[in-house]
Amino acid sequence: MLKSVALVVNRHISRGLVEPVVKRILKWLEVRDASACILDATHTTGECPICPENVLDNVDFALALGGDGTVLSTARMVAPAGVPILGVRLGQLGFLSEIEPHDLELALEKLERGKYFLEERRMLEATVMHAGQMVYSGICLNDVVVSKGVLLRPVEIGLDIDDERVTAYYGDGLIVSTPTGSTAYSLSAGGPLLAPDVNGVVITPLCAHNLFARPLVVGLDDLIRVHLLKSQKGTMCILDGQESHPLDEGDEILIQASPDVARLVRFTRWSFFHVLREKLGTRDA
C-alpha cells in the first residue's frame, strides 16, 4: 500500500508538460489518502523548501518526472535513503525511464499491488583531495568527468589503479563511467558499452594527444586515482554532467564504488540489447 511518494520534477521542462502529470498523480494519491511531496531535481542534496526535513525517511517511491537527467539527479538524491525510483519520461531521452505519461495510473496501481521488481544499478563515489585534505565528495549513477576549462589548452592527467601507475593522458580530460553511464558521454567519446550487470568501470580519455590512448575497463571495486598533473583555469570534476567542483593543479580525485545503489522500478524484464535497439537506434541484422 502506498503511503507517501516523492515527485522529483525537472523545472527546466515546460510547465505545460509537467503540471498535468503532477495533478494526475496528486489526484490519484488523494483518493487513496496517500501523501506526496515535490522535490526540485536541481536540489540534488534533497534540500528543497517545498519539503520538510528528512522527508525521504518515510517515502515509499520517488517518481522522476523528466528525462534521463532527472533520473540521474533523483538517484543521487534518494539512493542513500534506499528509495526506489520510477522514471516517467517527459524528456527527449528515456533510456532509464520506465513508463510514458499515458501509463501513469496503471503504473501507480502496480506499485500499490506490488506488481513490480527492482533493478539495482551500482554507483560511483568521487572524492576530491586538495593539499591532502578532502574538499568535495559526491556520488553519481553515470559518470565522473575530469574536464579542461574553456581555453583550448589540454590538461595532463595521471591515472593509478589500486596505487599502481597505469598511464598519463594529455588531452581534454577523462571520463570514468559505470555500466549505466557507458551508454552516455563515454559512448560518444568512443568508449565501449557495458551491460548493466557487468562488474566493471570504463575509463575513457577525451581527445588524448596519444596514438595509443584507448578506453580501459577495470573492476568496479578497484580504487581509481586521477592526478591533475597539469591544469588549466576552469578545470572541473563533474558528476553525471550536473554537479561540479573546480580543480587545481596537483589535486587528486579518488573514484570507487559507492555503497549506495540506485534501485530502479521495472514492470517488464526487457533485455539490455532490446533497450539498445529501441533507444539507441541499432538495427536488426
H or E segment at 21? helix 15-31
Sign of CA dihedral 69, 181, 235, 172: negative
Bridge partners of 127? 137, 254
Grid cell in block for residue 209: 594527444
Grid cell in block for residue 39: 522535490
CA distance 98 to 264: 9
Annotated active-site residue 103? The verdict is no
CA distance 283 to 285: 6
CA distance 96 to 108: 18
Burial of 102: CB neighbours in 10 Å, binned 0-12, 13-18, 19+:
exposed
With the CA atoms of 171, 210, 251 and 217 taken in that order, what torsion angle do they form, in degrees rounded to the nearest 10? Answer: 110
Of the residues 68, 143, 240, 251, which is catalytic? 68
CA 7 to chain centre: 17
Active-site residue list: 68
